[in-house]
Amino acid sequence: MKKSRHGIGDGILWAMILLAIIYGVLMSDLSTLTGSSFWDGILGVLLGLYICSHPAANFVTLLFFRRASPREFPEGLEAAVWVGLNLLVLLAGLVVMVIGATRLTAGAR
């Protein structure tokens, strides 16, 4: 795995997208993972929060520690690609959280 100059390696971010896709496919193909809508919902929300934590940490590092850190941060096209990848991972985590919240509230009916 190649660790980029600006924080978490890009491989981790791609792995988070893959994890979100696997969760989405499993939830669409199977009616339940755990046998309970409540626990399926809890699992989805927690997984979504975990997925979103990686790009959130990258953005915090970029915004608050950029001046204090001696590391080089990306510029130009590299920065746009890096920000785009982080936003894609955030979106994937949000989708997983919505699926989980939907499952969580479906059990309350």
Q: Which pLDDT tens digits describe the chain residue by residue (109 residues)?
A: 344 444 567 889 999 999 999 999 998 888 788 888 889 889 999 999 999 999 998 888 877 766 655 556 666 787 788 889 999 999 999 999 999 999 888 766 6
In-domain check, residue 20: yes
Q: Is residue 22 part of a domain?
A: yes
Q: Is residue 91 part of a domain?
A: yes
Q: Is 37 within the bounds of a domain?
A: yes
Torsion, Cα 35 89 51 92, to 10 degrees, reads -20
Residue 1 lies in a domain: no
DSSP 8-state assignment for residue 70: -
- Distance (Å, whole) CA 93 – CA 54: 10
CA–CA distance, 70 with 8 (Å, rounded to integer):
16
Q: Is residue 64 part of a domain?
A: yes
Q: Does an H or E element contain 49, and which? A: helix 37-64
Tally of domains within the chain: 1
94 domain-assigned = yes
Within a domain: 4? no
Which pair of structure tokens corresponds to residue 30?
A: 């199977």
Q: What's the domain range around 86?
A: 10-106
pTM over 0.85: no
The number of beta carbons lying within 10 Å of the beta carbon of residue 103 is 23
Q: What's the CA gap between 32 and 41, in Å, rounded?
A: 10
